[in-house]
Amino acid sequence: MENLKLNTKNLSAIGERIAIPKYSRSDIKTGIVHVGIGGFHRAHEAFYTDQLLQDESVKDWGICGVALLDFDTKIYNTLKEQDGLYTLIVKELDGTHTKRVIGAITEYLFAPENPTKVIEKMASPEVKIITLTITEGGYNYNEATKTFDFTNPLIIHDLEHPNAPKTIFGYLTQALKLRQERGLKGITIQSCDNIQGNGYMTQNMLLSYVSKAEPALVDWINENVSFPNAMVDRITPVTAAEDITHLKETSGIDDAWPVVCEPFKQWVIEDDFIAGRPAWENVGAQFVEDVVPYEKMKLSLLNAGHSVLGILGALMGYNTIDEAVNNPNIRAFLKHYMDEEVTPTLGDLEGVDLEAYKQSLLERFGNINIKDQIDRICSETSAKYPIFILPTIQSQLENKGDIGLAAFVTAAWAIYSLGTNENGDALIIKDALKQELGEKAKEAKHNPIAFLELGSVFGTLKQNPVFTKAFVNAYEDITNKNIEDNLKSINSTY
């Protein structure tokens, strides 16, 4: 089989091998600007939108993908080379791969190269929605002060150079200002990040920035921009070199950056789109009045579950999430954490079978074909912990519920931050606070609660005697015996 490079020219030939878009991509207008064209966006929103575009009457919802950071050069160049096309490889539970070429990203821009072009695109009349996957840390929220972080050097830069911004806040402010000046009404800004109340967070952080950068724009935003909350879900590991080779060997497709993901997908969205929206419900998204309870369930069970498996698994020397969850002691620990510490915080979830949901998570985590990297899960834990784990602890403390298992994971993270696993191998720590975490982790060897001094991660947790006691005990237990033996003793108490 001849290898075909993925691009528009070869598309119909590729269509004889795997599924390709049925619609004519050149007829699709851009209705959405999406910032952050990483794997998750390409496995999720772009996938849903591609499915919708298969309906020939839908022509207004093409996506313009924006690469915001210098770091994104590679994905931008790849999409440019491949005319925005990429292969989505769904790794099914039975080990087979379902492959399809996704065509929904019809335009792509590289912000560092041409900021004005990005601002103009966001301000163009045909664009009705700006969607974001800018990661948990991208919202510039500080847990310690509970406010927008104006000390961030990039924010200081944007305030000084409004026409050549570097952050999402600088871009959105300029674009919205142009829309106001041009008399263009409503636009929706929709977060697709894993944050409780991600719409509220986007709105609050943007308004904080705008109040300083363009105070006169605040009222216009309040009247003309909507910020729906949404829960997003699809496990999307980092594409491995073998994925690229395998696609070439099995289908003869030369794709420099395919995306791999699990079969499961979910998108629950509040129906608050001031300028209209795609009928994503026709392709499986759910529109609801209030998404907050669903988000909370997902963040505190799935995402926190990932962090639990990642931190404990990394210390025990595992590389992937399935290896960790398929260790019976870790699995039982995670199950107890979900049942005893998270479930009591979730309140009433109408129409959700929580037991079935938790069971399905264990199965998804255990999918041996996905090979989701523990390094990916543990990256940026300092931004994830305050969203995934801290709210559960706070809620349990308020209601005098158990926090012992969360304290154990937190203590394990302190040990992890020393940079070596139990076998003496170096851990690759990718975290914006890597240095601070490392310093606190060293102090913690003599005084464990020093680790909790990182206010932007732990808020006021250090002042809570119930938590600190459990944390110090757990820290000592981990210093005295290995993780697995600790898990065995903990599990035996349930």
> Quick check: 194 binds ligand CS2 (CB under 6 A)?
yes
H or E stretch covering 91: strand 86-91
Comparing CB distances to ligand CS2, the nearer of 194 and 343 is 194
Cα–Cα distance between 346 and 392 in angstroms, integer?
9
Left if phi > 0, otherwise alpha if psi is -120 to 50, otherwise beta: which for 354? alpha
Cβ-contact 169, 211 below 8 angstroms: no
> Quick check: 167 binds ligand CS2 (CB under 6 A)?
no
Phi, psi of 389 (to 5 degrees): -110, -45
Minimum Å gap between C-beta 98 and ligand CS2 is: 18
Interface region with ligand CS2, contact rule CB under 6 A, candidates 71-79, 152-160, 233-241, 415-423: 233-241
User: Which of positions 235-254 make contact with ligand CS2 (CB under 6 A)?
Assistant: 235
Minimum Å gap between C-beta 128 and ligand CS2 is: 25
| Tokens describing residue 150 | 């104006």
**Selection from 139, 132, 133 nearest residue 155 by Cα:** 139
> Quick check: 306 binds ligand CS2 (CB under 6 A)?
yes
Interface region with ligand CS2, contact rule CB under 6 A, candidates 229-237, 338-346, 395-403, 465-473: 229-237
> Quick check: 417 binds ligand CS2 (CB under 6 A)?
no
Strand partners, 226: 188
Over the window 108 to 127, marking each residue x when it contacts ligand CS2 by CB under 6 A and - when it does not, the resulting string is: --------------------
Interface region with ligand CS2, contact rule CB under 6 A, candidates 7-15, 53-61, 121-129, 231-239: 231-239
Minimum Å gap between C-beta 174 and ligand CS2 is: 30
Minimum Å gap between C-beta 320 and ligand CS2 is: 13
Comparing CB distances to ligand CS2, the nearer of 54 and 326 is 326
Comparing CB distances to ligand CS2, the nearer of 53 and 389 is 389
Centre a 10 Å sphere on the Cβ of residue 426 and count the other Cβ atoms it contains: 8
Minimum Å gap between C-beta 63 and ligand CS2 is: 19
Centre a 10 Å sphere on the Cβ of residue 9 and count the other Cβ atoms it contains: 11
Q: Which residue is nearest to ligand CS2 (CB)?
A: 306
> Quick check: 300 binds ligand CS2 (CB under 6 A)?
no
What lies within 8 Å, CB to CB, of 60 at 6+ separation is 28, 29, 31, 126, 128, 278
> Quick check: 191 binds ligand CS2 (CB under 6 A)?
no
Comparing CB distances to ligand CS2, the nearer of 233 and 255 is 233
**Selection from 68, 215, 211 nearest residue 130 by Cα:** 68
End-to-end CA distance of the chain: 57
Comparing CB distances to ligand CS2, the nearer of 364 and 440 is 364
Minimum Å gap between C-beta 195 and ligand CS2 is: 11
What proportions of the chain, in percent to the nearest 5, are helix, strand and coil? 50, 15, 35
Residue selected from 234, 296, 331, 335 as contacting ligand CS2 according to rule CB under 6 A: 234
Interface region with ligand CS2, contact rule CB under 6 A, candidates 157-165, 230-238, 250-258, 275-283: 230-238
**Selection from 446, 380, 415 nearest residue 138 by Cα:** 380
> Quick check: 377 binds ligand CS2 (CB under 6 A)?
yes
Cα–Cα distance between 421 and 427 in angstroms, integer?
6
Comparing CB distances to ligand CS2, the nearer of 233 and 270 is 233
Comparing CB distances to ligand CS2, the nearer of 235 and 334 is 235
Q: Angle at CA 236, nearest 5°, toward 345 and 415?
A: 60
Minimum Å gap between C-beta 230 and ligand CS2 is: 12
Minimum Å gap between C-beta 194 and ligand CS2 is: 5
Phi, psi of 123 (to 5 degrees): -95, 5
**Selection from 281, 289, 141 nearest residue 229 by Cα:** 289
Comparing CB distances to ligand CS2, the nearer of 179 and 384 is 384
Cα-atom radius of gyration of the chain, to the nearest Å? 23
Strand partners, 373: 320
The amino acid at residue 198 is N
The amino acid at residue 399 is N
Please count the residues of this chain forming the interface with ligand CS2, following the rule CB under 6 A.
Answer: 8
Minimum Å gap between C-beta 323 and ligand CS2 is: 16
Cα–Cα distance between 163 and 161 in angstroms, integer?
6
Residue selected from 177, 336, 384, 440 as contacting ligand CS2 according to rule CB under 6 A: 384
**Selection from 478, 491, 489, 474 nearest residue 336 by Cα:** 491
Comparing CB distances to ligand CS2, the nearer of 119 and 325 is 325
Comparing CB distances to ligand CS2, the nearer of 40 and 475 is 40
Comparing CB distances to ligand CS2, the nearer of 93 and 159 is 93
| Tokens describing residue 22 | 């049925």
Comparing CB distances to ligand CS2, the nearer of 171 and 267 is 267
For tokens 């199950």, the residue is: 335
**Selection from 392, 434, 400, 413 nearest residue 483 by Cα:** 413
Write out the residues near ligand CS2 by the rule CB under 6 A.
194, 233-235, 303, 306, 377, 384
